[in-house]
Amino acid sequence: MKDLYRGTLVRLSAADPGELGKNYIIWNRDTELMRLFGTGPARMSSKRASVEYYEKELKDQPPSHFYFSIRALDDDRLLGETDLDVVNWASRDAFVGIGIGSREDWGKGYGTDAMHLVLRFAFTELNLRRLTLNVFEYNPRAIRSYEKCGFQIEGRKRSALLKDGKRWDIIYMGILFEDWMEQK
C-alpha cells in the first residue's frame, strides 16, 4: 500500500480554516489568480470573512465533499488547495477543483503532482468511476497540466465567460477510471 497523500513534490494535508483563510487573503490580491479560480467577479475578502468561509465550508464536511491543503514536500509550506465534490454516489461521479495560490509557485509541477494524488485518492480510495473539471479558455497552463494527468477535453460551453470585454469558453475535461488505469 502506498502513502496516498504523498507525491514526488507535494503532499496533501488536512485543510485548516485558520491557515487557509490567512493565506487566501494574500492570494486574493492577485486578480489574475482570482480569474483562474472562478467565474464570479474578483472581490476582496477580510481575514475574518475568509476564515469564516473556510470554517463553513469545512464544518460537518458532508460525506460527499473532500477538501485538502497542498503542501511542498521540501519545506512543508502551504501551496494551495484542492477539493473533490462527489455529485452522484450512485454513478460515482465527482467534480474536482485545484489551485496553487502564489504565482512564484506556478509552473513548477506542484499542481500536476497534486492532481495525480487527487486522482489516486478518487479512484483507489473513494472508488469513483470518473472525474470532471472546468477550466477557462484563457488558462492554457492548467489545460496542459490536466492533459498530462490524463484528462480529456469533453466539450466547451461557448462564450460562457465575459472578462475585459471579451468572451471566452469554459472547457469541460473528464477522466474515466479506465483512462487512468491505462496510463499507469
Partner 1 sequence: MFGIQTQLFEEKDIRFGPIDHETHPEIESKWTHDAEFMRLMEIKPVRPLSAAMVKKQYEAVEKEMEEEKNLFYFTIRAREDDRLIGKALIEYVDWTNGNGFIRLGIGEPESRGKGCGSQAMNMLLRYAFGELNLFRVTAVVPAYNECAIRLVQKFNFVEEVRRRKALHRDGEFWDILGFGLLNAEWQESGSGAG
Nearer to partner 1, 116 or 130 (CB): 130
- Pick the stretch among 22-30, 55-63, 77-85, 148-156 that binds partner 1 (CB under 8 A): 148-156
Asked if 156 is part of the footprint of partner 1 (rule: CB under 8 A), the reply reads yes
* Contacting residues for 175 by C-beta, under 8 A, at least 6 apart: 119, 130, 131, 149, 150, 151, 152
Q: How far is CA 39 from CA 55, 133, 153, in A?
A: 22, 13, 19
Nearer to partner 1, 18 or 155 (CB): 155
Asked if 162 is part of the footprint of partner 1 (rule: CB under 8 A), the reply reads yes
Asked if 41 is part of the footprint of partner 1 (rule: CB under 8 A), the reply reads yes
- Pick the stretch among 36-44, 45-53, 54-62, 143-151 that binds partner 1 (CB under 8 A): 36-44
Cα 109 to chain center, whole Å? Answer: 14
- Pick the stretch among 38-46, 76-84, 104-112, 141-149 that binds partner 1 (CB under 8 A): 38-46
Give the whole-angstrom CA distance, residue 57 versus residue 12. Answer: 18
Q: How far is the CB of 134 from partner 1 (least distance, A)?
A: 10
* Strand-pair category, 130-136 with 93-100: parallel
Q: How far is the CB of 138 from partner 1 (least distance, A)?
A: 13
- Secondary element (H or E) of residue 150: none
How many CA atoms, within 13 angstroms, populate the side-chain half-sphere of residue 27? 23
Asked if 124 is part of the footprint of partner 1 (rule: CB under 8 A), the reply reads no
Give the whole-angstrom CA distance, residue 106 versus residue 145. Answer: 11
Asked if 158 is part of the footprint of partner 1 (rule: CB under 8 A), the reply reads yes
- The three grid cell numbers given for residue 50, joined into one nine-digit string: 475568509
Asked if 65 is part of the footprint of partner 1 (rule: CB under 8 A), the reply reads no
Whether 124 and 145 have beta carbons less than 8 Å apart is answered as no
* 3-state secondary structure (DSSP) of residue 33: helix
Asked if 25 is part of the footprint of partner 1 (rule: CB under 8 A), the reply reads no
Asked if 31 is part of the footprint of partner 1 (rule: CB under 8 A), the reply reads no
| Interface contacts to partner 1, rule CB under 8 A | 39-41, 87-88, 90-93, 129-130, 132, 154-162, 167, 172, 174, 176
